[in-house]
Structure 1
Amino acid sequence: MVSGSSHSSSQSWFGKSVAPGESVNSELLITESYSSRDVGISLRVIRGLGDGPTVFVSGALHGDEINGTGAIRSLIADDDLKLTAGTVVLIPVLNVLGFERHSRYLPDRRDLNRCFPGNASGSMATRMAKVIFDAIVRRCDYGVDLHTAAVRRTNYPNVRADFRNPDCMRLAEAFGAGVILDGKGPKGSLRREATLADCPTIVVEGGEVWKVEPSIVDCMKRGVLNVLKHLEMMEGEPELPIGQVKIKQTKWIRAERGGFMDLHVSPGSTVTAGQPIATNSTLVHQDQNQLIAPFDGIVIGMSTLPAVQPGEPVVHLGRLAGAKSARRVEKHSQADDVQRTAQEHLSTNIQIVDPN
């Protein structure tokens, strides 16, 4: 375990003094508005009494992805979140300018999650990224970045981590999601650049934009608490599912024709090769074609908009080892209350039609 700075005295977080055992609200100034007013990121710093790692937990790096915001606010309001060691920095909204516009992007249309570690003399996005990276990430030993699917899509809760980095894998497994996907993240993304800067970071995906979905919040909140327990920053043992599946290959199944999709699977469903996953038809219900699962897998994400044009993504599948693995994954997810509830709730947002 990497240890943070000594906890024998107060720490300064953006002008606020935080003593061992204290919890303090603070604000990191990141830029100025068009009217020359300061723009800041609100956050909560919680310290344990003993020495330990420093962990950041961030939400809304994409400003419209607010399930993580809901989860972090729930953690802040939870009186049972008591650290015995270390420091946790809880950031409900990282991209405050995008959040205030209900937008994934910054006002200049740049993606903040492609701008790290930043540039002090670059664009507004890279300047903001540098302030965030230097002030938060470089002070932390680990990171958990909470996301949702992009607009008009939804994701079954999953963790994304670099399988070749043992510290990232420890965090990913400790988080306790049923599905772990391999990947370093795109160049300039927070998790990739933070990990390269010796702050191993994982991404958690779940649910839709513009919503705080209770079942996704429960998944994210349990996972963050699991990580803190694993790092011995809290008392208690992580609440882990019976099994977790690690996936190295995924594929978007795309529409072949324009029309209206009848979906036959929901987020978290397992499928076998050759199974129908969606049927495309005209508006007067003349069938045109079916989309078939190309391999045994699990539905990681899918479109929530049934109207499609050729080439548009419909279902995101993660490849499993075979039909036996698919049955085992389904059994494990149904045995875990948090995963099962998430799957049930996400399926209510999509009309599922029997392919027959």
Structure 2
Amino acid sequence: MNAKSENWFGHDVKPGEAISTELVISESYSSRDVAIPIRVRRGLNPGPTVFVTAALHGDELNGTGAIRSMLGDPSWELASGTLLMVPVLNVLGFERHSRYLPDRRDLNRCFPGNTTGSMASRLAKVMFDSIVRRCDFGIDLHTAAVRRTNFPNARADLDNPTCLKLAEAFGSGIILHGKGPKGSFRREATAAGCPTIVVEGGEVWKVESSVADCMLRGVFNILKTLKMMDGPPDIPEHQAIIKQTKWIRAERGGFMSMHVAPGDSVVKGQALASNSNLLTEDQNRLEAPFSGIVIGMTTLPAVQPGEPVVHIGRLANPKSALRHDQHVASDDVQRTALQHLATNVQVTEPEELPSS
């Protein structure tokens, strides 16, 4: 039986139709509407309702690039269900090139929100009620924070079987376990009955083609797994499950020489970065405390003691650990991302340290 017409944001959307609309979330100082643009696309047949959002942090734009690629590509079709595509969720942060809202609050700590709280809480309430509570599944696209980069990875509450299914179907190659912080979009959406995953990849303030391609393929993979698109999903042969991560922090101030790149596999004791003064003297070295995968790292070579340098994830199954010369990238899309992200930092071979 064919799907019926649905009302989205004041518009009746028939099966097979797509509309561009807006969701009014607040008012400006001049009392004008503040709205987020949304594309609603429906398949001909009944099916799940899925949202894909980006720029919940207003400076994280790789997901925006991925969604815009979907919007501009006429070659794909939605066979069933309803898809909500939101290129920029945090429009107020986006317009200021900022992670945060104008009041410095992090929107991603304010869900599900309330109608009488702060501006951030009120925005969160409108978004949550209008989008999340009407959807069956969610995909939220992010990047690393400022001065950092991430190899594309999916993050989900793996104790939730549906979240695990979505994370595996996305096919990023790296899956991190976690519910997410209290008040975060994915945690509260999942708790409200809309299983949601987060995907992290790349840096802020830019659209990196290889990262956006990974995100685009992942969204299509999930839609195919949910039978909303025709065809088999394109999922890598191997994916790493990570349940423990650790930031390796600088021990001294100085200039870092990096010896690994995002996506690299490392073994316990392997050199990650070397630290020296500006005359390359007083060198010390940061080493991997366990075998695992480089999830992310700083892109700022100058550090002070305690600043994060390399983010490592420990594989959930130690027997599946890769050699130090292997990578998590097992297909062309992942390998392209690995090569691209490796150019964001200068990676050198470690020098021999003088014996004590």
TM-score by length of 2: 0.96
Alignment partners' CA distance in 2, 1:22 and 1:94: 23
Residue in 2 aligned with 1:251? 246
Alignment partners' CA distance in 1, 2:36 and 2:77: 23
2:225 corresponds to which of 213, 223, 230:
230
After TM superposition, list the pairs within 5 Å mapping 1:42-57 onto structure 2: 42-57=37-52
Unaligned runs of 5+ in 1: 1-5
Conserved? CA contact 2:154–2:198, under 8 Å = yes
Alignment partners' CA distance in 2, 1:318 and 1:51: 40
Which secondary structure state, in structure 2, belongs to the residue aligned with residue 287 of structure 1?
coil
Conserved? CA contact 1:272–1:323, under 8 Å = no
Residue in 2 aligned with 1:273? 268
Shift of 1:324: 5.9
Which secondary structure state, in structure 1, belongs to the residue aligned with residue 338 of structure 2?
helix
2:72 corresponds to which of 59, 77, 80:
77
Residue in 2 aligned with 1:204? 199
Residue in 2 aligned with 1:351? 346
Unaligned runs of 5+ in 2: 352-356
CA deviations 1:183-218 (Å, max 9, x no partner) are 000000000000000000000000000010000010
Alignment partners' CA distance in 1, 2:237 and 2:327: 9
Which secondary structure state, in structure 1, belongs to the residue aligned with residue 326 of structure 2?
helix
Alignment partners' CA distance in 1, 2:327 and 2:302: 32
After TM superposition, list the pairs within 5 Å mapping 1:294-313 onto structure 2: 294-313=289-308
Which secondary structure state, in structure 2, belongs to the residue aligned with residue 192 of structure 1?
helix
CA deviations 1:233-289 (Å, max 9, x no partner) are 010010010111100000000000000000000000111101110000001110331
Residue in 2 aligned with 1:60? 55
Conserved? CA contact 1:48–1:84, under 8 Å = yes
The structure 1 segments of at least 4 consecutive aligned residues displaced by more than 6 Å after TM superposition are: none
Which secondary structure state, in structure 1, belongs to the residue aligned with residue 124 of structure 2?
helix
Which secondary structure state, in structure 2, belongs to the residue aligned with residue 103 of structure 1?
coil
Residue in 1 aligned with 2:322? 326
Which secondary structure state, in structure 2, belongs to the residue aligned with residue 224 of structure 1?
helix
CA deviations 1:56-104 (Å, max 9, x no partner) are 0000000000000000000111112211100000000000000000000
1:330 is matched by which residue type in structure 2?
Q
Alignment partners' CA distance in 1, 2:139 and 2:2: 22
After TM superposition, list the pairs within 5 Å mapping 1:335-350 onto structure 2: 335-350=330-345
Residue in 1 aligned with 2:139? 144
Residue in 2 aligned with 1:170? 165
Distance change (3 Å), C-alpha of 1:296 and 1:228:
same
Shift of 1:344: 0.2
Alignment partners' CA distance in 2, 1:14 and 1:274: 55
Conserved? CA contact 1:296–1:323, under 8 Å = no
Which secondary structure state, in structure 2, belongs to the residue aligned with residue 132 of structure 1?
helix
Conserved? CA contact 1:257–1:288, under 8 Å = no
CA deviations 1:319-349 (Å, max 9, x no partner) are 134486123993551x300110000000111
1:325 is matched by which residue type in structure 2?
A
Residue in 1 aligned with 2:209? 214
Alignment partners' CA distance in 2, 1:157 and 1:331: 13
Alignment partners' CA distance in 1, 2:150 and 2:248: 15
Residue in 2 aligned with 1:188? 183
Alignment partners' CA distance in 2, 1:193 and 1:345: 33
Q: How many residues align?
A: 350
Alignment partners' CA distance in 1, 2:77 and 2:95: 31
Relative to structure 2, which stretch is displaced further, 77-86 or 293-302? 77-86
Q: CA RMSD in A?
A: 1.4
2:213 is matched by which residue type in structure 1?
D
1:114 is matched by which residue type in structure 2?
R
Conserved? CA contact 1:241–1:332, under 8 Å = no
Conserved? CA contact 2:174–2:239, under 8 Å = yes
Shift of 1:7: 6.0
1:109 corresponds to which of 88, 104, 112:
104
Conserved? CA contact 2:291–2:314, under 8 Å = yes
Conserved? CA contact 2:267–2:323, under 8 Å = no
Residue in 2 aligned with 1:289? 284
Which secondary structure state, in structure 1, belongs to the residue aligned with residue 26 of structure 2?
strand
Conserved? CA contact 2:266–2:324, under 8 Å = no
Residue in 1 aligned with 2:354? none
Residue in 1 aligned with 2:115? 120
1:161 is matched by which residue type in structure 2?
A
Percent of residue pairs identical = 67
2:125 corresponds to which of 130, 141, 162:
130
Residue in 2 aligned with 1:3? none
Which secondary structure state, in structure 1, belongs to the residue aligned with residue 108 of structure 2?
helix
Alignment partners' CA distance in 2, 1:167 and 1:8: 24
